[in-house]
Amino acid sequence: MKIILASASERRQELLNRLTGEFDINVSNFDESTIPFNGSFHHYVMELARGKALEVENRLSDAEEKIIIGCDTIVAFNGKVLGKPKDKEDAFKMLRELSDAEHEVYSGIALVNTKTKRVITDFVCTKVKFSDLSDEEIKRYINTEEPMDKAGAYGIQGIGGIFVEKIHGCYYNVVGLPLNKLYCMLREMGVNL
């Protein structure tokens, strides 16, 4: 069965490659602003992932059975969603908030079978604790440009990993694609890797 990843994220592509080298990429054009945040982080990320996967499914025209993977990752802190920073000032504000504090990283996954129209969703939550960061450390990190395309303005797999004091939960979730959860969901959909 053909697998399609509905994401342009190089990190997700690299991680999916660990499960299977046999997949296509079809980037979703889903408008994330159509999903309101209602206070439930796990529900929010699952709905975003579902929207991304279904948008790709709606554009496919052939009859071949495929599994589409939609995924979305957010950082949750003090009841707020921290997405990708709008600019350097926004990145600074996020990192200042996360300094010397614990936050949660949520990833939602949705799988869609294009033939049966079956959709399953799930999520993973990982707790991450940052060490105490100085303003100078934050500015130096922002100048690397690494934080600009990442939820919460950091990449654990990159330079931003030096700020992480400890994690509790799935490391790959923080990178952007929880491999164990995805593996189990693919098996549930009848995909043998």
Q: Which amino acids are annotated catalytic?
A: 72
Q: What is the rounded radius of gyration, in angstroms, for the C-alpha atoms of the chain?
A: 17
Question: Which of helix, strand or coil describes residue 18?
Answer: helix
Residue 171 phi/psi, 5-degree rounding, is: -60, -45
Amino acid at 148: M
Is 120:189 a contact under the CB 8 Å cutoff? yes
Start-to-end CA distance of the chain, whole Å, equals 10
Beta-carbon contacts of 58 under 8 Å, excluding residues fewer than 6 positions away, are: none
